[in-house]
Structure 1
Amino acid sequence: MSKDYLYQDLLIENGDVVLDAGRNPVMIQDRAVIAQDIKHAIIESGLAVALIGEKSRDGRSDIKKQIELLVEEEVRLVPGTVRMEEPELGKIWIFATTQDFGDIEIGVDT
């Protein structure tokens, strides 16, 4: 019995496809696909690297706002629900609500 998913993709961690015990690619669905796509968009934008290199408070604030605006562009999210936190230097968390799958949390190591 198979379930139909709206979104399905390969799980990627540290730039590599994750394999299960049988050496088959691990698949992710729906909410996890959206979270992975957002994480990759942040990394590929170069903003995560820019955040690492920025030392001034105002500069960091500007880059964090750019990340938030980038995430807000994701059409599978409910507009206005994106919130970002930086609990410690080098680690940001994105919180948002998807259109179809509820809340997501995305951790990005910068």
Structure 2
Amino acid sequence: MKYQDLLIVNGDLVLDAGHNPEVIQDRAVIAQDIKHAILESQLAVMMIAERSQSKKADIRTQIELLVEEDVRLVPGTVRIEEPRNGSLYIFAQTTDFGDVSFSVIEVKDE
């Protein structure tokens, strides 16, 4: 184990059955850190609000550059997918823990 952090979901600390903070490690920490960086940058909000495809492409590039700054990722492995439903998924390869993927914006089908 190289990295350790507390699990945060929807801005709240996650507690286990004993009401202790849930701990995450390594790959999950990297994913959580990158997700929080994207959310704090407001780029995800800009992506949701934007209607222009060219401006959305620019925001997607900005997100990719932000993610690429993380030194725990293999340069050039970041991939962003935005299915038609408005979700936003990030895929990359870590230097020590293999592939990592997570959603920044996830639109649930009803």
- Of 84, 90, 93, 2:80 maps to 84
1:14-56 per-position Cα deviation (integer Å, ceiling 9, x unaligned)? 0010000110000000000000000000000000000111100
Measure the CA separation in 1 of the matches of 2:100 and 2:65.
Answer: 17
Is 1:42 the counterpart of 2:49? The answer is no
Measure the CA separation in 2 of the matches of 1:90 and 1:34.
Answer: 24
Measure the CA separation in 1 of the matches of 2:83 and 2:99.
Answer: 19
Is 1:51 the counterpart of 2:43? The answer is no
Is 1:95 the counterpart of 2:91? The answer is yes
TM (normalized to structure 1)? 0.93
Structure 2 SS opposite 1:108: strand
Unaligned runs of 5+ in 2: none
Percent identity between the two aligned chains: 67
Q: CA deviation at 1:88?
A: 3.0
RMSD: 1.0
Q: Any runs of at least 4 consecutive aligned residues in structure 1 with deviations exceeding 3 A, and if so which? A: none
Measure the CA separation in 2 of the matches of 1:47 and 1:89.
Answer: 18
Residue type matched to 1:15 in 2?
G
Question: How many residues align structurally?
Answer: 106
Residue type matched to 1:85 in 2?
E
Q: Counterparts in 2 of 1:1-110, with a 5 A limit?
A: 5-109=1-105
Q: CA deviation at 1:109?
A: 1.2
